[in-house]
Amino acid sequence: MDELKLVWWNTALSPAASTEPSEDEYAFVCRTIEYFIKDQCADFIALCEINDDAYDYICSVCKFDGYRFVSGVNKVGQTNFDLMYIINVSKVDDFAFENVVYVKNNRTKKIAQKIAIKVCGFEVPLVIFASHWPSKIRGGENGNDRYEYAMNLQVEAHDVFKNSKDGTPYVILMGDYNDDPFSACIFDGLMATRDRELVLKRDELLYNPYWRIMSDLPHYERVMGSYYYKSGALTRWHVFDQVIFSKAFLQNGDWIYCDGSTLIMDIPAMTDVVLSSKHKFDHMPLSVRIKRDM
């Protein structure tokens, strides 16, 4: 086993204010999951905007040999984690998660779910922090809540590879952060930069390859980000969904980040749906690869 493929997708099945998904919408999500598994050979899939009903439906319809489904849906304070995971058991032989929260003014804030996975044949675990942060509408236009989320997540991530007795240098952050890579909460609060050389020199920095989406795409590309805001006045594309890496993935070691990762999947059928005003889907899936450093 020389490679691990990770996928993130905001399904739009259960946003904070939503009607019950239709059968067609459920079917679209299930076809997309099938694409992740059969066409993309994904090993770890994180889905957000999932509730108990959506999880139950997906489990009842999406049956794939060798894959395990895990619900991360649970209530914390007055909010809910809305995540689920799909794992290739031929490559991942252990999986556990815990909620990461903080309390402010008697309100619980959901920072992430901290997932520890043991990859077959490797003693050193991988730790993944999966997040779905509030939008600017719900979290405030100035992003103060998300900045505090970012600082808390930064502390949690660094605690794993610097201070924990059972820690690992291999830490991945993935999620819908509802902010672009250049935003204060991601760039400053989370300390996630595009500068690989600085990441290698400074322990507190994280590497964010999703800056590349902001500048490297040719003008004729239909997909210019991960989130499409259909009513955008100045821009409709944003890079709200990102996967971010600790510096160990840039060094010689057990695992390295694959620079040739797709980052954002341009699936024609999905792109048509996301661009259409007739559908609720508004996020493109992410795909990254890490490989064994031989």
Residue 2: how many other CB atoms lie within 10 Å: 7
Report the alpha-carbon distance of residue 161 to residue 181 in Å, rounded: 23
pLDDT digits (tens, 9 = 90+) for 46-101: 999 999 999 999 999 999 999 999 999 999 988 899 999 999 999 998 999 999 99
pLDDT for the residue 142: 46
Paired tokens of 149: 């989320």
156 closest CA partner among 117, 113, 185: 113
Q: List the chain domain ranges.
A: 3-292
- What topology does CATH give the domain 3-292? Deoxyribonuclease I; Chain A (3.60.10)
**Which residues of the chain fall below pLDDT 70?**
1, 16-18, 137-143, 163-167, 216-220, 294
**Beta-sheet pairing, 192-193 with 206-207:** parallel
**H, E, C per residue of 176-225:** ECCCCCCCHHHHHHCCEECCHHHHHHCCCCEECHHHHHHHCCCCCCCCCC
Q: What are phi and psi of 267, to 5 degrees?
A: -90, 115
Predicted TM-score (pTM) of the model is 0.95
